[in-house]
């Protein structure tokens, strides 16, 4: 059975003409039926007074469709985008963020990059750098069997987009546009790429993403530049289209070439780039950041200097552990820690039974030092967290169980990575995923699927509130918390009838047992876990 396509609208520079845009959308929807999303590229805010925007911001007026917008392209409008990670600007109007990947519940994958190109440091708040483009490419290329993305949203045009194509009118694409975006478009192979800023409409002929007779056929890309809203020349600023997410399409249908398809406009440019004549991969920041070197087959860690930690001639000095500002129940050195629940201690992390757990083997992975969330962990701590996760998966698998992990970085001060085993006989992974998505929808929580091998640090910044689930298949669900969030949401879903069927245990306070009983459970867990515990290796 063919998948039902999503109906989307894309829009060019709004420039503060919100009433003009949304009245036009209402007219279109009244005539053609409702659309699922409106995607805005270019300048969403203009230099006009804020009176019109205040009506939307305060709820007097409301956008008639869920609207996603890119960020500032100039210093004047930076003030409207307070959170670089994205946030709700008004009801039904959401700022996507500086850069990232948006994956809808349908599987539609949208990559977005806000701002204009800058090759200078420091990068202004309304610009992107080679490092940003490199980070986006790496995030997606690291996913297994990456084929491309459904939609790419940028404000500037890609440089050279007119090569081999139909005329772009007055816009000289050899001089105008961003070479970084050309590089990004080549690497991500979007099926649709929308841009603006040039105050004109240009729908380029579709171009192919493979070399004929040398590579297997791949889907084509359609580049569409949109004019500014309400322009007097009546150039097209709103584009309607239907799309079935790539992941749901039959391969033969996906790679079918349009009759007017052309050569890739960036082919020669990308060949030059591969020879080092354009856009080198950027160096990492030197301050307080750690990265895994994705170019190293061994997957070794790199320190914040970008040098391999094994190549240093000087022995590494032990890092001072981050300290809490006050008493903490989870810092291992703290007197508040209930140490009888601890079942394994590594170099940077430890494992403890959950107090009031959903089951007798519900455990927590916790950093020994004081870190608030996964996003704030240093590289060596991340590595040991991953080692504990892999070990627990093997351990629970030996007992006929799969494990589900979740983190709630909201109203908590010390990272607690919850690990809950679910008997294989209870339900399949897809059932667990569906239960999370269904209950999220019921509570109006936007739970998005993110790329399997992506790093949470590339989606959330330190200090950002979020909820995150990792399934045993590696699939991940993410919610950026903007206002309120039910503290027991993760437990409620797993305790529900669809999964563990223990709804009375959804609140940990209802599951507390005596210290003697906790000691017994911890002793039994240590004994069972011992053959798997890597911290006991010689």
pLDDT of residue 214: 73
At residue 82 the predicted structure's pLDDT band, cuts being 50, 70 and 90, is: confident
pLDDT at position 396:
96
Least confident of 173-182, 332-341, 412-421, 434-443: 332-341
pLDDT for 193 beyond 80: yes
Q: Which residues pair with 449 in a beta bridge?
A: 477
Per-residue confidence (pLDDT) for residue 324, from 0 to 100? 62
- Round the average pLDDT of the chain to a whole number and report it: 86
Would you state the pLDDT for residue 309?
Answer: 38
Q: Is 2 helix (H, G, I), strand (E, B) or coil?
A: coil
The DSSP secondary-structure symbol of 109 reads E
Sorted by sequence, the CB contacts under 8 Å of residue 155 that are 6+ apart come out as: 41, 42, 43, 70, 73, 114, 115, 116, 195, 196, 197
Q: pLDDT digits over 390-421, tens only?
A: 999 999 999 999 999 999 998 888 999 999 99
Task: Please tell me the predicted confidence (pLDDT) of residue 330.
Answer: 87
How distant is the alpha carbon of residue 416 from its chain centre? Answer: 21
DSSP assignment of 205-268: PPB-SS-TTTS-----BEEEE---TT-TT----EEEEEE--GGGS-HHHHTPPPTT-B--TTHH
Q: Residue 425 carries which DSSP code?
A: T
- Grade residue 2 by pLDDT with cuts at 50, 70 and 90: low
Helix axes 130-141, 179-188, angle to 10 degrees: 0
Which residues does 276 contact at the CB level (< 8 Å), separation at least 6? Answer: none
Q: What is the mean pLDDT of residues 496-512?
A: 86
Between CA 35 and CA 287 the distance in angstroms is: 44
- The whole-number average pLDDT for the span 157-180 is 93
The pLDDT score that the predictor gives to residue 491 is: 94
Collapsing DSSP to helix, strand or coil, 311 comes out as helix
Kindly indicate the confidence band of residue 464, based on its pLDDT and cuts at 50, 70 and 90.
confident
pTM beyond 0.75: no
pLDDT tens-digit series, residues 237-264:
999 999 999 999 999 999 999 988 999 9
pLDDT (tens digit per residue) in 302-354:
333 333 433 333 444 445 566 665 567 888 877 778 889 999 999 999 999 99
Q: How far apart are CA 369 and CA 367, in angstroms?
A: 5
- Is residue 14 scored above 90 in pLDDT? yes
Nearest to 525 by CA among 341, 295, 368: 341
């Amino acid at each position: 059975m063919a998948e039902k396509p999503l109906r989307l609208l894309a829009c060019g520079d709004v420039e503060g003409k919100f009433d003009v845009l949304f009245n036009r959308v209402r007219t279109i929807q009244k005539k053609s039926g409702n659309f699922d999303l409106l995607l805005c590229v270019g300048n969403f805010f203009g230099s006009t007074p804020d009176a019109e925007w205040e009506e939307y911001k305060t709820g007097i007026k409301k956008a008639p469709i869920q609207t996603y917008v890119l960020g500032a392209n100039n210093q004047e409008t930076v003030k409207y985008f307070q959170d670089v990670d994205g946030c709700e600007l008004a009801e039904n109007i959401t700022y996507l963020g500086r850069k990232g990947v948006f994956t809808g519940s349908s599987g539609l994958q949208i990559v977005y990059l806000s701002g204009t190109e800058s090759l200078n440091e420091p990068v202004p708040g309304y610009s992107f750098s080679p490092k940003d483009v490199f980070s986006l490419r790496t995030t997606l290329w690291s996913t297994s069997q990456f084929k491309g993305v459904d939609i790419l949203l940028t404000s500037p045009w890609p440089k050279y987009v007119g090569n081999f194509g139909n005329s772009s009118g007055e816009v000289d694409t050899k001089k105008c546009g961003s070479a970084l975006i050309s590089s990004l478009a080549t690497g991500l192979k979007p099926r649709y790429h929308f841009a603006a800023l040039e105050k004109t409409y240009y729908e380029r002929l579709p171009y192919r993403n493979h070399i004929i007779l040398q590579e297997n056929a791949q889907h084509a890309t359609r580049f569409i530049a949109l004019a500014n809203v309400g322009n007097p020349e009546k150039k097209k600023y709103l584009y309607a289209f239907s799309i079935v997410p790539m992941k749901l399409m039959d391969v033969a249908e996906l790679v079918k070439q349009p009759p007017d398809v052309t050569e890739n406009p960036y082919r020669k440019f990308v060949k030059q780039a591969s020879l080092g004549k354009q856009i080198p991969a950027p160096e990492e920041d030197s301050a307080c950041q750690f990265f895994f070197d994705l170019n190293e087959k061994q997957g070794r860690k790199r320190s914040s200097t970008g040098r391999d930690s094994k190549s240093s001639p000087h022995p590494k000095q032990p890092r001072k552990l981050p300290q809490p500002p006050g008493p903490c129940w989870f810092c291992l050195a703290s007197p508040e820690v209930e140490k009888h629940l601890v079942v394994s201690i590594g170099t940077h992390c430890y494992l403890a039974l959950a107090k009031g757990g959903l089951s007798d083997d519900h455990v927590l992975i916790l950093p020994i030092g004081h870190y608030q969330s996964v996003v704030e962990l240093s590289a060596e701590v991340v590595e040991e967290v991953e080692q504990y996760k892999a070990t627990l998966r093997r351990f629970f698998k030996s007992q006929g169980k799969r494990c589900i992990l979740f983190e709630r970085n909201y109203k908590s001060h010390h990272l607690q990575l919850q690990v809950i085993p679910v008997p294989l006989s209870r339900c399949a992974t897809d059932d667990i995923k569906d239960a999370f998505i269904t209950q999220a929808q019921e509570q109006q929580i936007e739970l998005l699927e993110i790329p399997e091998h992506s790093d949470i640090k590339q989606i959330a910044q330190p200090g950002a509130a979020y909820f995150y689930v990792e399934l045993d298949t590696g699939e991940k669900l993410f919610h950026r918390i903007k206002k309120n969030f039910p503290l027991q949401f993760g437990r409620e879903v797993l305790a529900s009838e669809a999964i563990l069927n223990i709804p009375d245990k959804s609140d940990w306070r209802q599951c507390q047992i005596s210290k003697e009983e906790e000691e017994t459970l911890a002793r039994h867990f240590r004994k069972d876990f011992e053959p798997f515990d890597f911290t006991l290796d010689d």
